[in-house]
Amino acid sequence: MTQAYSRPLARSAAAWALVGLMALPGCALWSDKPKPAALETLTPAATVTALWSAADGRVEFPMQPGMAGGRLATAASDGTVTVRALERAAVLWTAKAGTRLAAGVGFDGERAAVVTADNELVVMAKGQVSWRKRLSSRVSTAPLVAGERVFVLGLDRAVEAYDALDGRYLWRLQRSSDPLSVNLNGVLMPIGDTLVVGQGARLVGVDPTRGSVRWDFPMATPRGSNEVERLADLVGPALRLGNDTVCARAFQSAVACLDINRGVLRWTRNAGGVQAVGGNASVIVGADGSDRMSGWRAESGELLWSHERFLHRQLGGVATWGAWVAVGDAQGQVHVMEPSSGKTLLRLSTDGGAIAAAPRVAGKVMVVVTRKGGVYVWQAP
């Protein structure tokens, strides 16, 4: 898998052209990339209900569907945002940003927020663009809409807050960082009354009303002889376990779980990989850079199992779906597994397009979006 990196805007045009090339789905700089592992013969050991599917426009950015209030917000690269009833597929409204998108969708059930390729934050409601604001940094993480505010995490690792009603600028938190960052979904999530943000390899708790830092803890220790090797940005979405623990992938270096109440790193394990982890209070599940799947004991980080059944299938992030975990691949297959053993219980097919981001889950309902624009919704028993 190839990944994209972003430097400050002082980079040359030639360098930015390379960044754009590396960001294209399925693009490789070598013609002899490893062949994906063949799918195993599978007798389904679980059943789910296919609620509905739809076809939106192509998705060429790390699009994260928004889910809130029984509604689903999706976006296509051409700037179209669609809000549907989650369990019925009824289209409630659509709106257009007017240009191509780079990040989204943030959604609170009423307002949807996206970021355009021209670095504009666009907020929509009831089928209309409510407001738009020019941003100072490129963005790949979906904005967060919460508490009548819209929060944005830039590739420069700065966090900005805007009033969700009128777009009024509220605050900006900028911290010193390395010159390179990862062009993937980062960590931007609410926990109680705190905004939790990934800034490089550090997990930071921020007062959402003022933008001040409440706590700041390292999740990984960057290592290496050059800027690329030292990249250890936290990859989202992070996994929240109860009210005190957050687990996350540090890009190409580690998987770690942090007790945010005590500020103690519960455990960290060297695990090269580039996609988000999933799991539950017992087991954390993730894939390494070759798509070797592993499960670690949530309490201690002890390795419980590892398998190579999905080797080189270009897996996305892992999502927790009730008692299961699910992960999509570049061939449009969604693999549903038992966390405690890694056993594949079920395989769900889509339109054959690569899964655009980690599946999203609300209760028993899971949503998957493909690069071809397919939207698929299933419900667990």
Domain ranges in the chain are 1-33, 63-183
Dist. CA 172–CA 139, nearest whole Å: 15
Sheet holding 66-68, edge to edge: 66-68, 71-75, 80-85, 91-96
Residue 144: closest CA among 117, 169, 114: 114
pLDDT in tens, the chain (381 residues): 334 433 333 332 323 332 333 333 334 434 468 999 999 999 999 999 999 999 999 999 989 999 999 999 999 999 999 999 999 999 999 999 999 999 999 999 999 999 999 999 999 999 999 999 999 999 999 999 999 999 999 999 999 999 999 999 999 999 766 656 677 899 999 999 999 999 999 999 999 999 999 999 999 887 766 666 667 899 999 999 988 999 999 998 899 999 999 999 999 999 989 999 999 999 999 999 999 999 999 999 999 999 999 999 999 999 999 999 999 999 999 999 999 999 999 999 999 999 998 999 999 999 999 999 999 999 999
Q: What integer pLDDT is reported at residue 178 of this predicted model?
A: 62
Assign 114 to helix, strand or coil. Answer: strand
AA identity, residue 192: G
Architecture of the structural domain at 63-183: Beta Barrel (2.40)
AA identity, residue 87: E
Dist. CA 128–CA 125, nearest whole Å: 6
**Using the 8-state DSSP alphabet, how is residue 370 labeled?**
B
Contacts of 39 (CB under 8 A, 6+ apart): 333, 347
Contact 375, 53 (CB under 8 A): yes
Q: What integer pLDDT is reported at residue 131 of this predicted model?
A: 98
Q: What integer pLDDT is reported at residue 224 of this predicted model?
A: 65
Q: What is the pTM of this model?
A: 0.90
CA dihedral 111, 109, 315, 287 (to 10 degrees): 110
> Could you tell me the two tokens for 158?
């700065």
- Which DSSP helix (H) or strand (E) runs through 20? helix 13-23
Pairing of the two strands 181-182 and 101-107 = unpaired
- Return the number of other C-beta atoms located less than 10 Å from residue 44's C-beta: 12
Q: What integer pLDDT is reported at residue 222 of this predicted model?
A: 72
